[in-house]
Structure 1
Amino acid sequence: MMTRASILLLACLTPVMADDWKAPKPADKVAADHFKVPEGLEVTVWASTPDLFNPTNMDIDAAGRIWVAEGVNYRGHNGRRPEGDRIVVIQDKNGDGKADESHTFVQEKGLVAPLGVGVFDNVVIVSQPPDLIKYTDVNRDLKFDPAVDKREVLLTGFNARNHDHSLHSVTGGPDGKWYFNNGNCGAEFTDKSGKTFRMGGDYYKDGGGEWFINSREMAGKKSDDGYMWTAGFSARMNPDGSNAEIIGHGYRNSFEHCTTSLGDLFQNDNDDPPACRTSYVLEYGSAGYFTREGRFYKTVQRPNQKWERVHWRQDDPGTFDAGDVYGGGSPTGIVFYENGALGAKHAGTLLSCEAARNVVFGYQPQPEGATYKLDRTDWMTSNTTGEFDGADFTGGAKKQESRSAGNPLLFRPSDVAVGADGALYVTDWFDPRVGGHGDMDESCSGTVYRIAPKGFKPVNPKVDLATIEGAVTALKSPAINVRWTGFEALKAKGDEAVDAVLAVTKDKDTWISARGIWLLANLGPKGEEACKGFLTSTDTRQRLVAYRALKRAGKDILPFAEKLAADPVPAIRRDVALSLRGLPAEKTAPILVTVAKGWDGKDKNYLESIGLAAENQENDVWKVMKAALAPGEPKSWTDAFAKLTWRLWPSAAISDLKSRALDTSVSADARSFACESLSFIDDKGAAEALFEVAAGPDSSAKDAAVGWLFMRGTGAWAKFGLQDELKKRNIYDPDKIQLQEAIFPGKPDKTNFTTADVMKLKGDASRGKAMAARCVMCHQVDGAGPAYGPELKGWVSRQGAEMAVRAIVDPSAEIAHGFDGSAIQLKDNRWIDGLIRSNGDPVVITSQGGVTQMVPKDRIQAIRGMGRSLMLNADQLGMSAQDVADAVEWMKTYK
């Protein structure tokens, strides 16, 4: 008997074969000639509404068909299309470089702005929280028919339907695995091997959507693999959903990631205005948005720490290098271009969509120690002025823009992919607003642009996966999921495919040859031996890929690790360390000693790879390292050994670190660093050691110990019950805190002048610098000021003069994301208005003028959003319209 709940669920999942939604008249698209792309390439319109609506993600199959996931029911518009959202298939049947047909593959009421679609031959994977859905098009007619085709939930347990920070697309890796990622809404999912992964953090029911799991309850809990992960993560698994493993975590909202044929993983991640970024993901590493316990990065902010380093906890052990941190934005789709029609000049280009900035960034990642150097270019952009609008970091958008001319500022690239024809394709969401969980274009218009050499004629090589030759053709495809099908088909051939795959490894294109090396490790004894031969290659890439391929194929890696631990290339030594993770310390520690000897004492990712290798066995590894590296007495340690100890956070080092912190023959900086190292050890003994240092006579070590005791005692070490001791030492006594009421002046009913009035005036930069000094009470100017408000340096060059004027004349009109004011109501009915820095116990809040207070939670009646800016407007600052014009004129030069 079916229950009411099961009937409702069935209705939610019932496919709809016709879409009764009537879209409004499409808005104008951004014209192709508005775009700037590299010389020799051109932008053309491949498809546009009504072929597709609100494209969230796309994939391209071997025949060149583009599959698009739509988000008509996105966020506040859930229900706009009652029949549910769709996966559509768009085709160019006559090969003229422009789509001529579009149809629905599947539409379900349960599809609500799905953020991912991956096509693997006749298998289509759709990312729709709480599920990862697998559709098998049995009769290959490109339409899902439940009477013929198959639908199954591959995995489930991903949080937050209709939320940007949830489950994203699935792509095939060079190792034959499937890769997917999820934002910081969190998850609790069980793979087909029976392992449960608990991805938690202090982000729950934030930003709307439907939440299925309390992600805060997952924080600090180990997964069944024995490791503690935080929400915002990348994972890989077998295509059947088994043997999943987390390969990166601690993200905010990594909208998409991409793998290369070398096996490197890159991602972009969006955050509050100062810290969006593109980065190389160190395998198993944390990006740093959450602490180990799942707390927000703000709770461990250090004094005077630069914001981009705060955001990704770059000064803490246990985080990987952040990469290119470029500031405000809304990064979306990402792809790595290896081979195809664009030519050798563009091979090895990482392309990242940045919807808030109307651009697709381009990078040519260059090895730099254990990471990659990422120099950014505007590879494809409609915005040549550098003035942005309608984004979180510009305060959002409050009115509908004029779209009659296809305003270039409305180009919102949501995804980028490489076609089987070797051209590049970009989907455009087209909207005045991006981020902030909002959209304003009621027509839900979307476009697919093609970027290719001028006069390009598309050719999609025919693929027959039943033959070795056809599978090799697929393996060589520029399209990532097409080449995965070639890998899978050749792997199934086993020994029969070895000779053909060996021929692939000799291809002059290094990206294609790498794909063959990966396969060899999966083709039986003959292939495995051939793969091992590449471990001694003089080509760094071949050694690296061969080692990764053997590890990923489940081979015994230890004999090779011993040989490569002293490889001249840091990236290979890094991978040796990472490959030892989870193996017994008695076998891995001696190898890690060799790896440690190759560290230059500075490379963050290199050090982190050693720490990740030692996870859950830090004490055992550190003891072996101490014996082998012979650093001597604690006072004699080298900086490198002290840094190794800092990263390994071993409780076995507590006594040595205390001795080092108390020894006045050691430099003040080294004593302070010993205190910091103690603070990251998850052991009550480390706290007791810091209490002893805090009681000592040395002021530098004492100050450091007190600072870390406060931060940890009210945070990660709260579980050790240190409150009484913190009170006794006068480090933190909530009963003695004197709170100062701080009520922010209300917004005036009207202003004496408007933005338009100011824009008519000519500004004087020399006078403006003096006017800008008034901003120091909230902003940093030339190093002075509390950084209470957004960064002013480069502000006008990023936002444009008119937006800067508007922010001064009427700050509450558009509030920069991350600077929303809060009002704390105390139980004695006093109020503290300001910007909450940490929402732990105590709550840390900064008010106007940079006054920061710690508010014990037991004194708080309520915390409410203020709904207005924390900045005084021009009238309240005593500024005239001319004063504002002058200040903005000076800020144009403040870069």
Structure 2
Amino acid sequence: MALTGGDIGNAKREEPLRAAIRKKNELFFHRWRPANWTYLFGFRKQEQGQNAVEIPKFDPLIEEWEKRIAKLRDLKHQDPATLKEVSELTTLNVQHSTFNVQRSTAALQPLPTFDVADGFEVDLWAEDPQLHKPIEVNWDAQGRLWVASSEVYPQIKPGQPATDSVIVLEDRNGDGKADKAAVFAAGLLIPTGVLPDSNGGCYVAASHQLLYFKDTNGDGKADEKRIVLSSFGTEDTHHNLHTLRWGYDGHIYMNQSIYTHTHIETPHGVVRLNSAGIWRFDPYTCQLEVFTRGGCNPWGHHWDDYGNSFFTDGAGFQGISYCVPGAMYFTYAGARRELQSISPGNYPKFCSLEVVRSPQFPDDWQGDFITCDFRAHRVVHFKYSEAGAGFQTKEMPDLLRSTNVTFRPIDVKFGPDGALYVADWSNPIIQHGEVDFRDPRRDKEHGRVWRVTAKGRPAVKNPDLAKLSVEQLLDRTLSKN
């Protein structure tokens, strides 16, 4: 009541005030709890500590918004010039066009060439400007590919607007290339995961929050936004909440990495995870629990035909690990026991994980693992088999690889046509802490999705799952795709 001078009934006049308060709070959050704290002020500050000078620059910006708020508090006597200014500064299109977003030094980026496994071929399915900087991709029931895309990564600048987005890509004529790209949700801050649901919406991991966006009028754009969970750790933006997947049990599984300390207040109590691990979340009851603890960067997670789940690690030379609910893995502090990797030997850093279940791929590939070695520009193939009470993997020849330094495969998902789709970060710089956040070589523009198919095998013709009956959907669970 004091904030609005006793008049809270005029929604039209209140909205500019609310927008100003939200903007001030956003800036204060970046000042009080800056992303990448580990690198700016923590034990790895020798790598990015020079960028800590940016954080106090949020102070004058916060003061400016405090002054605007003061001029809007009295709803009956709001300053017209301030109303106009707030409207302009909180409109995404104006922000996007007026802020000088850092661009890469190379205007054009050559397309990579590939060495492809015998019997396979790769084609470009989508590229900028249809999308930019994909981080995670997932398919919906209508056969559309949802992309979490970030040009702000790895660190927002003082005064820089959050201009990241969720993009929906679609191949409407079935020619093997995306011909429609639509922005579903904009104004996001470094979205590291996206997961569409069956109700016209999607879950998005962005900064310290799990968000839910929904399209209620069918225009293909989100018009509702809800904060589902808040206060995930942000100590390192490439460790933020990521790898969103639907489990066979109807729960959402999502991961965080080693520097992250998370304390989530839920209707069922506070849940904590002070390191890497995998979360299990029931979106219907808001029940959140820790599924596994440990790992360095568990950037991939998937299930086999029997409900066994596995995760890849983006550090620590672990390869692929077998997920046992409640188990603890490499790096978890204070663990009484650690469940070891199922990949004998040492391995590079892997990102994403997919299990081959596609009649478009050869029979002897079914059930195998595919992941990404983003540092060595290759898409990797593993077989696995039972070994004692668990499993053991065997690395096979690569599915594809490139000598082009901008090819950075970071996610792989099988599409409804049975092809494998590879999200390409398209960036010569992938190191997070080792290379300066403001290095001009960091590409902010490019991004691609590649489509890998087996030669001589037809694409799968899949119906629109959203239009099938319950009985038909149950029959589809027996599909090989």
Would the alpha carbon gap of residues 422 and 15 (structure 1) be closer, same or farther in structure 2, given more than 3 Å must change?
A: farther
Would the alpha carbon gap of residues 346 and 47 (structure 1) be closer, same or farther in structure 2, given more than 3 Å must change?
A: same
Residue 256 of structure 1 pairs with residue 335 of structure 2: no
In the TM superposition, residue 335 of structure 1 has moved relative to its aligned partner by 1.7
Report the AA paired with residue 247 of structure 1. F
- The answer on whether the counterparts of 2:162 and 2:189 sit within 8 Å (CA) in structure 1 is no
Residue 8 of structure 1 aligns to a residue in which SS?
helix
Residue 463 of structure 2: aligned partner: 461
In the TM superposition, residue 94 of structure 1 has moved relative to its aligned partner by 1.4
- The answer on whether the counterparts of 2:128 and 2:447 sit within 8 Å (CA) in structure 1 is yes
Residue 370 of structure 2 aligns to a residue in which SS?
strand
Would the alpha carbon gap of residues 26 and 426 (structure 1) be closer, same or farther in structure 2, given more than 3 Å must change?
A: same
Q: Using the alignment, how far apart are the partners of 2:390 and 2:367 within structure 1?
A: 15
Residue 324 of structure 1 aligns to a residue in which SS?
coil
Matched ranges for 1:143-158 at <5 A: 143-145=221-223, 150-158=224-232
Q: Using the alignment, how far apart are the partners of 1:329 and 1:288 within structure 2?
A: 15
TM-score of the superposed pair, with normalisation by structure 1:
0.41
In the TM superposition, residue 444 of structure 1 has moved relative to its aligned partner by 2.8
Q: Using the alignment, how far apart are the partners of 2:281 and 2:168 within structure 1?
A: 26
Residue 473 of structure 2: aligned partner: 471
Matched ranges for 1:588-667 at <5 A: none
Would the alpha carbon gap of residues 15 and 152 (structure 1) be closer, same or farther in structure 2, given more than 3 Å must change?
A: farther
The total of aligned residue pairs comes to 391
In the TM superposition, residue 478 of structure 1 has moved relative to its aligned partner by 6.6
Residue 213 of structure 2 aligns to a residue in which SS?
strand
Matched ranges for 1:268-283 at <5 A: 268-271=312-315, 275-283=317-325
In the TM superposition, residue 450 of structure 1 has moved relative to its aligned partner by 0.5
In the TM superposition, residue 379 of structure 1 has moved relative to its aligned partner by 3.2
Residue 95 of structure 1: which of 174, 189, 194 is its match? 174
Residue 409 of structure 1 aligns to a residue in which SS?
coil
- The answer on whether the counterparts of 1:420 and 1:478 sit within 8 Å (CA) in structure 2 is no
Would the alpha carbon gap of residues 476 and 86 (structure 1) be closer, same or farther in structure 2, given more than 3 Å must change?
A: farther
CA RMSD, 1 decimal? 2.9
Q: Using the alignment, how far apart are the partners of 1:464 and 1:431 within structure 2?
A: 36
- The answer on whether the counterparts of 1:56 and 1:113 sit within 8 Å (CA) in structure 2 is no
- The answer on whether the counterparts of 1:463 and 1:473 sit within 8 Å (CA) in structure 2 is no
Residue 248 of structure 2: which of 169, 174, 177 is its match? 174
Residue 139 of structure 2: aligned partner: 60
Percent of residue pairs identical:
24
In the TM superposition, residue 130 of structure 1 has moved relative to its aligned partner by 1.1
- The answer on whether the counterparts of 2:344 and 2:392 sit within 8 Å (CA) in structure 1 is no
Residue 367 of structure 1: aligned partner: 386
Residue 8 of structure 1: aligned partner: 24
In the TM superposition, residue 117 of structure 1 has moved relative to its aligned partner by 0.6
Residue 288 of structure 2: aligned partner: 244
Residue 640 of structure 1: aligned partner: none
Would the alpha carbon gap of residues 477 and 278 (structure 1) be closer, same or farther in structure 2, given more than 3 Å must change?
A: same
Structure number having the greater helix percentage = 1
Residue 42 of structure 2: aligned partner: none
Residue 51 of structure 1 aligns to a residue in which SS?
coil
Report the AA paired with residue 369 of structure 2. L
Q: Using the alignment, how far apart are the partners of 2:110 and 2:340 within structure 1?
A: 41
- The answer on whether the counterparts of 1:15 and 1:106 sit within 8 Å (CA) in structure 2 is no
In the TM superposition, residue 463 of structure 1 has moved relative to its aligned partner by 1.9
- The answer on whether the counterparts of 2:330 and 2:340 sit within 8 Å (CA) in structure 1 is no
In the TM superposition, residue 104 of structure 1 has moved relative to its aligned partner by 0.9
Q: Using the alignment, how far apart are the partners of 1:70 and 1:424 within structure 2?
A: 19
TM-score of the superposed pair, with normalisation by structure 2:
0.74
In the TM superposition, residue 134 of structure 1 has moved relative to its aligned partner by 0.9
Query: Deviation string for 1:811-853 (max 9, x for gaps)?
Result: xxxxxxxxxxxxxxxxxxxxxxxxxxxxxxxxxxxxxxxxxxx
Residue 86 of structure 1: which of 162, 165, 186 is its match? 165
Q: Using the alignment, how far apart are the partners of 1:374 and 1:241 within structure 2?
A: 36
Matched ranges for 1:284-363 at <5 A: 284-292=326-334, 317-324=336-343, 327=346, 329-363=348-382
In the TM superposition, residue 380 of structure 1 has moved relative to its aligned partner by 2.3
- The answer on whether the counterparts of 2:169 and 2:181 sit within 8 Å (CA) in structure 1 is yes
Would the alpha carbon gap of residues 276 and 445 (structure 1) be closer, same or farther in structure 2, given more than 3 Å must change?
A: farther
- The answer on whether the counterparts of 2:360 and 2:459 sit within 8 Å (CA) in structure 1 is no
Residue 415 of structure 1 pairs with residue 431 of structure 2: no
Q: Compare CA radii of gyration and give the structure with the larger one.
A: 1
Residue 35 of structure 1 pairs with residue 115 of structure 2: yes
Residue 158 of structure 1 aligns to a residue in which SS?
coil
Residue 295 of structure 2 aligns to a residue in which SS?
coil
Residue 755 of structure 1: aligned partner: none
Residue 238 of structure 2: which of 164, 170, 174 is its match? 164
Residue 431 of structure 1: which of 416, 427, 430 is its match? 427
Q: Using the alignment, how far apart are the partners of 2:314 and 2:344 within structure 1?
A: 10
- Consecutive unaligned residues in structure 1, runs of 5 or more: 201-230, 294-316, 384-406, 480-895
In the TM superposition, residue 464 of structure 1 has moved relative to its aligned partner by 4.0
In the TM superposition, residue 276 of structure 1 has moved relative to its aligned partner by 4.2
- The answer on whether the counterparts of 2:427 and 2:443 sit within 8 Å (CA) in structure 1 is no
Residue 191 of structure 2 aligns to a residue in which SS?
coil
Residue 226 of structure 2 aligns to a residue in which SS?
strand
Would the alpha carbon gap of residues 429 and 67 (structure 1) be closer, same or farther in structure 2, given more than 3 Å must change?
A: same
Residue 115 of structure 1: which of 192, 198, 215 is its match? 192
- The answer on whether the counterparts of 2:379 and 2:401 sit within 8 Å (CA) in structure 1 is no
In the TM superposition, residue 162 of structure 1 has moved relative to its aligned partner by 6.3
Residue 79 of structure 2: aligned partner: none
Q: Using the alignment, how far apart are the partners of 1:161 and 1:343 within structure 2?
A: 43
Residue 261 of structure 2: aligned partner: 186
In the TM superposition, residue 318 of structure 1 has moved relative to its aligned partner by 1.0
In the TM superposition, residue 56 of structure 1 has moved relative to its aligned partner by 0.7
- The answer on whether the counterparts of 2:313 and 2:320 sit within 8 Å (CA) in structure 1 is yes
Residue 48 of structure 1 pairs with residue 127 of structure 2: yes
- The answer on whether the counterparts of 1:249 and 1:287 sit within 8 Å (CA) in structure 2 is yes
Would the alpha carbon gap of residues 10 and 288 (structure 1) be closer, same or farther in structure 2, given more than 3 Å must change?
A: closer
- The answer on whether the counterparts of 2:154 and 2:432 sit within 8 Å (CA) in structure 1 is no
Q: Using the alignment, how far apart are the partners of 1:79 and 1:26 within structure 2?
A: 28
In the TM superposition, residue 9 of structure 1 has moved relative to its aligned partner by 4.0
Residue 138 of structure 1 pairs with residue 216 of structure 2: yes
Q: Using the alignment, how far apart are the partners of 2:265 and 2:147 within structure 1?
A: 28
- The answer on whether the counterparts of 2:428 and 2:443 sit within 8 Å (CA) in structure 1 is no
- Consecutive unaligned residues in structure 2, runs of 5 or more: 4-16, 30-88
